[in-house]
Amino acid sequence: MRPQPLRRLLSRVALAALVLGLVLALAPGADGGETRFVSLRSDKVNLRAGPGTRYPVEWVYQRRALPVAIIAEFDIWRKVRGPDGTEGWVHQSLLSTRRTVIVTGELRTVRRRAEADAPVVFRIEGGATARLMRCGTEWCQIEAERMKGWVERAALWGLLPGEIVD
């Protein structure tokens, strides 16, 4: 090969590697990790179109402790998905590792033990946010309004399939 075609080939290979690296960096689990749940640290969190302040704000969450799924990472920015499916980029400082969940459906019964016939501790409305204390395959212990109890796992949003929380 002559020097000119070799240089052109190397330039194309370098460009292809750069594009592939960018695609992989923005893919889910880009940091080598899996999708995981966190919660919003503030009552006002801007959801941006891209990973940086130069990108426009597309949505504003106004609910502290709302659980969100991290689906991608880029530097200090996290791409999150909310309970309603909305996706966007959030600065990592606005996220907390404290686990919370959203109660799905209508009114749910929270019990003293992880058993369907255990005494009722309280009832919680669908759409309410609760702190996740621990979770097994069928039941999760939650805390809401300073009350703790067990609720069926299927009644909650904010957990990965099969995830156990201790």
The fold for domain 28-98 equals: SH3 type barrels. (2.30.30)
Confidence check: pLDDT of 102 > 80: yes
Query: Options 2.30.30.40, 1.10.10.60, 1.10.3470.10, 3.40.980.10; which CATH number does 101-157 get?
Result: 2.30.30.40
How far apart CA 101 and CA 76 sit, in angstroms, is 24
Q: What percent of the chain has pLDDT over 70?
A: 80
Question: What pLDDT does 34 receive?
Answer: 84
pLDDT of residue 24: 39
Spans of all domains in the chain: 28-98, 101-157
pLDDT band at 3 (very low <50, low <70, confident <90, very high): low
pLDDT in tens, 26-77: 444 444 458 999 999 999 999 999 999 999 999 999 999 999 999 999 999 9
Q: Is the pLDDT of residue 163 over 50?
A: yes
Residues with Cβ within 8 Å of 88's Cβ and at least 6 positions away in sequence, in order, are 47, 48, 49, 58, 59, 79, 80
State pTM to two decimals: 0.79
Task: Report the alpha-carbon distance of residue 3 to residue 58 in Å, rounded.
Answer: 49
